[in-house]
Each structure stands twice: as C-alpha cells, then as structure tokens.
DNA sequence: CAGTGTGAATCTCTTCACAGCT
DNA sequence: AGCTGTGAAGAGATTCACACTG
C-alpha cells in the first residue's frame, strides 16, 4: 500500500491546490454531459494557463490523448487516485462548539469520502450529548478511539487557546494528519501533515485588494 | 481616501496571507504581555524565515527599531492599517442554508471588523425569517440594499449551481469584492477581487501528504 | 552590539514554444 | 490537423549576508 506512480519527486504545493479545482470543474462538466475536454478549455473553466494544467498532470502520469484531449471521467478518476482520495478516510473532530457542529452538519465531507466517525469535547456538559448522530466523547479517550476506529485525520474546532492541547492528544494517539480550524498556530512533529483553515484570512486579503484597486483610481 | 503608503508597487499574494498570520500571533503575544519582539522570535512563532518577515513588512514601511525589534501593539496597528482592516467593512451574505447560518452565528467576523448587515436568499419560505437577528431578504432586492446599506463585501453561501447568479446580482449591484464559499468556480469582472473558500481542498491536500509520507517508508 | 532593512543570490513555480503522438 | 507532454526560458518568491542604525 501507499505505492504511487509519481513521475517526479517533488510536487509544488500549488499543484495540489489546483488539482482540487480541476476535480471540481471536471465533476460539473461530467454532470453537464461533457465527455472529452482539451487542456485549453479546462484551463479557461479553471482560470489558469493551459500548460499549467498539462504540467500539473504530468507530475503524476500521462492521462491525455494527443490530438484529442482528456476523457473527463477517466481524468477525474486518475486525479483522485493520484491524490489518494479514491477511498474513505476516517476522521474525528475535536471541539463541538458552533463551528464543530456546523462542520458535522455539513454533508460535503462525507460525500467526498471524509467520514467523521467520532466527535470529541472536553466539556463535561457536552459529553454524552448526541450531535448529528454522533455521541460526544471525552477528549481523554482520544488514544483508545483513534486506534479502535482507525482514525486518520483529526479536525480541530476548539477555541484557539485549546487547539495546541487538542493537537497533542491527537498526535500522541497516533493520528496521521491534522486540519486546524482554530485561529491559532500549533506545533506538531514534522512527520504529521498539518493544514490551517482560517476564515478571516480571506477577508483580510479581500479588503486589501479592494483598497488597492481604489488607490489606483 | 484609499491612499496607502506602499513602498513597493507589487506585493506578493503570499505576503498578504502571512500578514494575517502575523496579526494572529502578535495578538496572542500581546495578550500574554509581550511588548517587544524580534523578527527572529516572531518568525519561530509563525513557522517562517525571519528575513521573510522583515521583507514582508518592508513592502509597507519601516516598522522596527534596529537593535531592538518591533513593538507588538504598534506593529499590529501598522499591519492592520497596511491591509486596510483598521475600520468596519459592511458585508452581506447570499444563501441562508446550513453554511450561511453557521457563518452568521460565527462571532469572529464581527469581532474582526467584518459586519454582516444583510442576509439574502431566493427561497420564498425563508424570506422574512429572522436568522441571528437579521431578516432574510429577497435576493432581487440586492441592488437597493447594496447602495442603501453601503455594502462592500458579498459572501456567497448558496448551493454551487446558484453561485454564479448570486455573483451576478452582487456585481450588478455594485459590490466591491466577493468571497465564494460555494464549491464552484464563478466569473466576475477583472476589477472585482474574488476569494474562494473551499473546505474540501484542505482535506485533499492532507490526504495527499499523508500518502506521500507513507510511500517514503 | 543586537537586530533591522535590503541588494544580490538562490530557489521555486509558471509560461513559452515546439517536438512528437494519434 | 490538433493537442499533449516537456525541456528551456522567464517570472516570482524566498533566503542569504551584511551594511547600517539606535
């Protein structure tokens, strides 16, 4: 397991981000009945350069047909395999506040293969409560549940001051990767992949770009 | 208005992203009682290189004191001014489903100066309903409300197939920038800044990096 | 003398341009 | 004829290294 037909050793971080976009657009094209698409047309739909797409795909293999383009369904499958999202990933969430509940309610994760199987919280008033069909479990039981339920991805939705402790529990329990929705930086060992999701960051970027446009007038 | 003391013409997109991180970390440092910090120490707390920080700040001015470092509160203020987030921004949300409600409930936006003043939806069953203190308004009234309420930022939380139409309404009404939480690409005129927030994208990246580590074993 | 601010060097990513398939 | 796959060129971002300042 874990074998991968990478043609190249290192893959740009930005490429991974774009592959997710390609999947999104390709799924829409598929649902609209498009069977084949050229890198040029896909590029337009994704607002990127067409050789960017060809290069991104070339990191993983040769998926196209010269003179023709890419078969949409085949390409979706290939990209998903390349990313390793062609299977179910077992996830847990730590912190059942507003944000945690919203994510549990959000159906997109499960439909894309990210199955949230366990919800943790350290608040005794919440423990035992049923949220979206899941019983809230005491955070101390992280170690047992991660191995019992084969949990791979931990989603942190605690308040910022408790995010580091949540991460520590998860790492100690043997989690394989972490997504941090709490607005604080956390430390994890180098071998644990970590992604930050920060809502405010996008608002700051937008505000800046709006001002920039205004200044140019 | 809109004048800005930029020392440099173009600023890397990545710099803007990091400035948001610096603010986050600096706010924590401030609350912990730190008054002065060197670029080296701030760099460690943000997991970046220290000359990266100095260069990022240099795009906007000279905020440090040689031989000393940066005064934390002063630096927070300077960065916020540079980004243009030292004032209130009027926002509206289009689409009052699960996600829209969760964002309305999420207090962080308002506390950071992004005030969601109006909630739109096109579903007649939702129009008139009060959600988190806001009356849901018919999407057709976008034009009137954007000017009346001086709305600047539009947040799209519709289902993917309705995101483009929501964007059209907003642009036509004179909105200045858009954040799209719907999992679909949208087209807007070049002069309208646009940010995508895609939850699944981070899960894909994480899955890929977990597999990569596994493959190296 | 500690630590900023910055030109120069390095590294990484993107785009071009075209050879090579189908 | 048309479009992919890819080396080479170009653009952009990061890091180094040190002159300069409080």
Is there a single domain that holds both residue B95 and residue B183? yes
Instruction: Identify protein residues whose C-beta is within 7 angstroms of any atom in strand C.
Output: A 10, 12-15, 48-49, 51-52, 54-55, 65-67; B 7, 38-40, 50-51, 54-55, 57-58, 62-70
First to last CA, chain B: 57
The residue among B160, B212, B167 whose CA lies nearest residue B193 is B167
For residue A205, being part of any structural domain is answered with no
Buried b (16+ CB within 10 A) or exposed e, A8-30: eeebeeebbebbbbbbbbbbbbe
Q: Read off φ and ψ for residue B107, nearest 5 degrees.
A: -70, -15
For residue B186, being part of any structural domain is answered with yes
Half-sphere exposure in the Cβ direction for A52 (13 Å, CA): 18
Query: Domain count of chain B?
Result: 2
| Contact (Cβ atoms closer than 8 angstroms) between residue A93 and residue A100 | yes
Is there a single domain that holds both residue A65 and residue A28? yes
User: Parallel, antiparallel, or unpaired: how do β-strands A194-196 and A130-131 relate?
Assistant: unpaired
Task: Look at B110 and A213; give whichever has higher pLDDT.
Answer: B110
Which tokens belong to A116?
A: 């949230």
For residue A212, being part of any structural domain is answered with no
Cβ contacts of A195-199, under 8 Å, gap ≥ 24: A195/B202, A195/B205, A195/B206, A197/B199, A197/B202, A198/B20, A198/B24, A199/B103, A199/B106, A199/B108, A199/B109, A199/B197
Is there a single domain that holds both residue B42 and residue B106? no
Distance of CA B49 to the CA centre of its chain: 24
**A17 lies in which domain range?**
13-83
Is there a single domain that holds both residue B23 and residue B68? yes
Interchain CB distance below 8 Å, B215 and A3: yes
Is there a single domain that holds both residue B101 and residue B121? yes
Q: What is the pLDDT of residues B156-214, one digit of tens each?
A: 999 999 999 999 999 999 999 999 999 999 999 999 999 999 999 999 999 999 999 87
Is there a single domain that holds both residue A58 and residue A133? no
Q: How many CB pairs under 8 A join A and B?
A: 195
For residue A7, being part of any structural domain is answered with no
For residue B5, being part of any structural domain is answered with no
Q: Read off φ and ψ for residue A54, nearest 5 degrees.
A: -60, -40
Is there a single domain that holds both residue A78 and residue A120? no
The percentage of residues in chain B with a pLDDT greater than 70, rounded to a whole number, is 95
Res A215: pLDDT: 67
From A18's Cα to the closest Cα of chain B, the distance in A is 9
Torsion of CA B136, B140, B145, B146, to 10 degrees: 120
Q: What is the pLDDT of residues A8-59, one digit of tens each?
A: 679 999 999 999 999 999 999 999 999 999 999 999 999 999 999 999 999 9
What mean pLDDT value characterizes chain A?
A: 94
**pLDDT band per the 50, 70, 90 thresholds, residue A196:** very high
Indicate the residue among B83, B98, B132 that finishes a domain. Answer: B83
For residue A4, being part of any structural domain is answered with no
CATH number at residue A119: 3.40.50.720
Is there a single domain that holds both residue B93 and residue B193? yes
Return the closest nucleotide (C1') to the Cα of A37.
D3
CATH number at residue A47: 1.10.10.10
From B2's Cα to the closest Cα of chain A, the distance in A is 5
Cα angle value B98/B101/B105 (rounded, 5°): 135
For residue A215, being part of any structural domain is answered with no
Is there a single domain that holds both residue A29 and residue A130? no
> In B, which residues are within 8 Å of A184 by CB distance?
24, 28
Indicate the residue among B44, B62, B83 that finishes a domain. Answer: B83
Is there a single domain that holds both residue B40 and residue B106? no
């Amino acid at each position: 397991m874990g074998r991968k037909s990478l043609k190249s050793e290192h893959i740009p971080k930005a490429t991974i981000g774009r592959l997710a976009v390609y999947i999104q657009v390709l799924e829409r094209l598929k649902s609209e009945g498009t069977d084949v698409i050229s890198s040029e047309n896909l590029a337009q739909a994704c607002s990127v350069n067409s050789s960017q797409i060809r290069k991104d795909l070339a990191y993983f293999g040769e998926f196209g047909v010269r003179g023709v383009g890419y078969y949409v369904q085949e390409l979706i499958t290939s990209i998903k395999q390349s990313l390793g999202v062609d299977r179910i990933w077992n996830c847990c969430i730590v912190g059942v506040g507003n944000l945690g509940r919203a994510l549990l309610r959000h159906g997109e994760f499960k439909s894309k293969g990210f199955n949230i199987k366990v919800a943790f919280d350290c608040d005794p008033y919440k423990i035992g409560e049923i949220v979206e069909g899941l019983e809230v479990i005491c955070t101390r039981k992280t170690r047992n549940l991660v191995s019992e339920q084969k949990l791979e991805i931990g989603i942190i939705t605690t308040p910022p001051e408790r995010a580091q402790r949540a991460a520590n529990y998860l790492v100690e329990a043997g989690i394989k990767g972490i997504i941090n929705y709490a607005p604080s930086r956390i430390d994890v060992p180098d071998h644990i992949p970590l992604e930050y999701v920060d809502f405010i960051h996008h608002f700051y970027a937008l505000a800046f770009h709006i001002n920039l446009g205004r200044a140019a007038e």
